[in-house]
């Protein structure tokens, strides 16, 4: 059985290499199509190790990291994540932001995603009233969209999350095969804890 291991603070640092490679592997798939850059990933992930009240939940199978789920107080997040909340006049203090969940394909459909949400919600509930996350918005007719793709909307709704009308952010990354980064819209979802 896959074990979930919650980590905070300096304990996260020992896993940054594994987490960087995992994010690059998982985010290469639709809908992110992320080219990946290990140096960027290591810098990005080090923020979790150095941020008070940040959380990384590892999914470990026989000693190997096969998945991870992260989050931190919204007030500690990057400006591009916080900007839509500030523009909309939403109080950031009660919000815990779920940064990502990544899981190797062969481990999906076994309830690990549900366990990731439960672990982050339990942690966030200690000091926050709301959980928010966002997901990339890609065109339905995008040429890289797999014909059998099933959006995660139903999964998120089953967990009690709802889309936040009009609240979007812009994240930039380089898609596979592109020479430059492009900006992608990210739609927010939320749940009262």
Homologous superfamily, domain 3-192? Gcn5-related N-acetyltransferase (GNAT) (3.40.630.30)
Has this prediction a pTM greater than 0.85? yes
Q: Which residues face 103 on adjacent strands?
A: 67
Q: Classify residue 162 as exposed, middle or buried by CB count within 10 Å of its CB (0-12, 13-18, 19+).
A: exposed
Structure tokens at 46: 């080090």
Give the HSE-up count for residue 186: Cα atoms under 13 Å, Cβ half-sphere: 21
* 92-137 pLDDT per residue, tens: 999 999 999 999 999 999 999 999 999 999 999 999 999 999 999 9
Answer whether 147's CB lies under 8 Å from 69's CB: no
Distance CA 184, CA 75 (A): 22
Domain ranges of the chain: 3-192
* 54-87 pLDDT per residue, tens: 999 999 999 999 999 999 999 999 999 999 999 9
């Amino acid at each position: 059985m896959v074990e979930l291991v919650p980590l905070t603070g300096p304990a996260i640092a020992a896993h940054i290499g594994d987490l960087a490679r995992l994010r690059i592997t998982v985010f290469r798939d639709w809908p992110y199509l992320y080219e990946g850059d290990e140096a960027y990933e290591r810098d990005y992930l080090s923020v979790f190790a150095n941020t008070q009240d940040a959380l990384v939940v590892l999914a470990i199978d026989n000693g190997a990291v096969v998945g991870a789920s992260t989050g931190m107080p919204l007030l500690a997040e990057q400006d591009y994540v916080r900007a839509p909340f500030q523009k909309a006049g939403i109080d950031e203090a009660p919000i815990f932001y779920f940064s990502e969940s990544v899981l190797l394909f062969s481990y999906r459909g076994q309830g690990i995603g549900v366990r990731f949400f439960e672990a982050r919600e339990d942690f966030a509930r200690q000091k926050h009233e709301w959980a928010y996350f966002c997901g990339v918005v890609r065109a339905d007719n995008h040429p890289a969209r797999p014909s059998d793709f099933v959006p995660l909307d139903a999964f998120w709704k089953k967990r009690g999350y709802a889309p936040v009308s009009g609240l979007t952010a812009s994240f930039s990354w380089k898609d596979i095969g592109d020479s430059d980064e492009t900006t992608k819209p990210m739609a927010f979802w939320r749940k009262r804890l």
